[in-house]
Amino acid sequence: MSELHNEVSELERTSATAARLFDVRRIIGGLFVVYGVMVTIAGLTASDADLRKAQNININLWTGLGMLALGLFFLVWLKLRPTVPPAAQDLPEEPGARS
């Protein structure tokens, strides 16, 4: 029990994920903005055949706008609440151990 505990705690102390891993919100935001723009443009230029196929709903336009909104939401969220730097959460007896 304690042996496993010590081993994992030690690995947690030297782990680099918290300090170095990028924020996934940037990726989701970026990809959905790009997809949103592409699909919205497809919606703006939709042919009559496209519209007929999609039951007279301009589905590309609506999906594109929805994806754009989701992408912007993630980028704004990231801007408003950026990742907390892990140094602030370090244990008191380990100053700067993660740097």
CB of 81 to another protein, least distance (A): 11
- 37 binds another protein, rule: CB under 8 A: no
CB of 20 to another protein, least distance (A): 4
Q: Which residue blocks in 1-99 are alpha helix, DSSP H?
A: 2-14, 17-20, 24-44, 48-53, 59-80
- 65 binds another protein, rule: CB under 8 A: no
Residue with token string 């007929």: 52
- 57 binds another protein, rule: CB under 8 A: yes
- Selected binder of another protein within 69, 75, 76, 89 (CB under 8 A): 89
Cβ atoms of 97 and 13 closer than 8 Å: yes
